[in-house]
Amino acid sequence: MKLHEFLSKEIMRSYGIPVPKSFLVRKGESPKNFFLPCVLKSQVLVGSRMKNGGVLFVNTPQEFEHGLKILLGKKIKDEIPFGVLVEEKIPTKHEHYLSLILDRDEKDISLIYSNDGGIDVETSQNFVKGQFDRMVKNIDPRIAKIALILRRIALEKDITLLEINPLGEMENGEFIALDAVFYLDDSAIYRQSWVKKFAEENPYPFNYVKLEGNIGIIGCGAGIVMATIDMVKLFGGEPADFLDLGGGANKDVTVFALETLKGYGIRKTIMNIFGGITKCDEIARAIVDFKKRNPDYMLYVRLTGTNEEKAKEVLEKNHINYYKDMYSMVESAVAGDEM
């Protein structure tokens, strides 16, 4: 489950990571006390929010009222905002990138850092990534302090991905988290009571973020979905979404996920499934159900984990091909080849 920025920042604030002063405004609310200059930030879960007009900088009361009205009523990539975060504007001299991600294969936490952060971070050539304990010793001690707190948050709050971009460096040498993206492990919602009310407002029974590309991405776990997205881009493709089925996804949820992507005009989808709590044979039955009604829809499937052999039997019986490794699957999907 992807968390809204305001909630991610509330968590960081409670753990002692510096964040800007802010408050949330929901539709129908009209705050009388606010600070200027400030930043108005639409609380949506889709990417490229700023590039799509979801962030406004305001300096006067008139700009504040006008901007707030616009953002509360504006969809960003077809998503209705949860609200608008009103945040003090913080001047910085440089922007960095910092994230922690649960590496399910290594059963460990990886740290990713770049001294080039901001909205065009994808173009940075300065990313470094590695096992947390090793990496944290080789970055700026001030940033390492924040990374150590993020790891504590990950362990205590069941967060599988924590990203701060940008991590602003101020003139006094201090660092402040100017934006944040957190993903909560769906399987842990039952023990994280603080997030249940937000999960109930999620219109999908899975974590979904619409992107700009044409290749659908479905996986189980934020880490494997992000890895698949990265590989698609590495091969020159453009991902159409981030869709994490979460733990324990059944046939109906999986079919709904495929129908959701189809409804957005996506005509081919990569399904990179690692079955832990999720049973691979449930996913396979969903694939068969969907393909019977959409025989021309291109699916690139990899299934590994719980009930893997049963799943492969289901697919083979219905003449649906699958891949043994992610590399060849993604390469074929980007090229548009059918197995």
**Chain centroid to CA 306:** 25
Confidence of residue 208 (pLDDT cuts 50, 70, 90): confident
Chain centroid to Cα 189, Å, comes to 17
Q: How many Cα atoms occupy the beta-carbon half-sphere of 118 within 13 Å?
A: 10
Residue 36 identity (one-letter amino acid): L
pLDDT at 339 (0 to 100):
54
Q: What is the pLDDT of residue 209?
A: 83
Tokens representing 224 are: 């494997």
Would you tell me how many other CB atoms lie within 10 Å of the CB of residue 207?
21
Structure token pair of residue 198:
């937000």
Percent of the chain with pLDDT over 70: 98
Please answer whether residues 62 and 27 qualify as being in contact, where contact means their C-beta atoms are separated by less than 8 angstroms: no
Residue 187 has pLDDT above 80, yes or no: no
Stronger pLDDT, 299 or 201, i.e. the higher one: 299
Q: How confident is the model at residue 103 (pLDDT cuts 50, 70, 90)?
A: confident
* pLDDT value at 199 more than 70: no
Show the domains of the chain with their CATH numbers: 21-88 (3.30.1490.20), 94-187 (3.30.470.20), 207-335 (3.40.50.261)
- Contact indicator for 276, 247 with CB cutoff of 8 Å: yes
CA-wise closest residue to 270 among 234, 305, 297: 297
Are 102 and 161 spatial neighbours (Cβ–Cβ below 8 Å)?
Answer: yes
167-176, 182-191, 233-242, 258-267 — which is least confidently predicted? Answer: 182-191
**Of 120-124, 246-250, 279-283, which has the strongest mean pLDDT?**
279-283
- pLDDT of 6 higher than 70: yes
In sequence order, what E strands does the chain have? 2-3, 22-25, 38-42, 55-58, 84-88, 94-103, 108-114, 128-131, 159-169, 175-177, 180-184, 207-210, 216-219, 241-244, 268-275, 298-305
Q: Which residue has the higher pLDDT, 105 or 36?
A: 36
pTM across the whole model: 0.67
Task: Give mean pLDDT, residues 99-127.
Answer: 86
Confidence band (pLDDT; 50, 70, 90) for 218? very high
pLDDT of residue 120: 79
Quick check: 201 pLDDT over 80?
Answer: no
Cα separation, 208 vs 57, whole angstroms: 28
Confidence of residue 215 (pLDDT cuts 50, 70, 90): very high
243 closest CA partner among 279, 191, 205: 205
Q: Which helix (DSSP H) or strand (DSSP E) does residue 262 occupy?
A: helix 251-263
Both structure tokens of 83: 């609200």
**Per residue in 222-273, pLDDT tens?**
889 989 999 999 999 999 999 998 877 889 889 999 998 998 889 999 999 9
> What pLDDT does 11 receive?
96
Q: What pLDDT digit, counting tens, does each position of 36-84 carry? A: 999 999 998 877 788 889 999 999 999 999 999 999 999 887 788 899 9
What's the mean pLDDT in 304-310? 92
**pLDDT of res. 94:** 95
Strands 55-58 and 38-42 turn out to be antiparallel
pLDDT at residue 1 in the model? 79
Query: Among candidates 182, 132, 133, which has minimal Cα distance to 14?
Result: 182
Higher-confidence residue: 89 or 276? 89
Q: In the 8-state DSSP scheme, what is residue 11?
A: H
Phi/psi for 233 (5° steps) reads -70, -35
Give the per-residue pLDDT at 99: 95
Structure tokens at 168: 């602003």
Angle between helices 280-293 and 251-263 (to 10 degrees): 40
pLDDT band at residue 338, thresholds of 50, 70 and 90?
A: low
pLDDT of 139: 94
Taking residue 30's Cβ as centre, other Cβ atoms within 10 Å add up to 8
Q: What is the CB neighbour count within 10 angstroms for residue 51?
A: 12
- How far is residue 186's CA from residue 199's CA, in Å, rounded to a whole number? 9
**Which residue type, as a one-letter code, is found at position 66?**
H
**313 pLDDT higher than 60:** yes
Q: Name which of 287, 293, 284, 281 is nearest 269 in CA terms.
A: 287
8 A C-beta contact, residue 49 and residue 79: no
DSSP helix, strand, coil percent of the chain (3-state; round to 5): 35, 25, 35
Ramachandran sector of residue 216 (left: φ over 0; alpha: ψ -120 to 50; beta: rest): beta
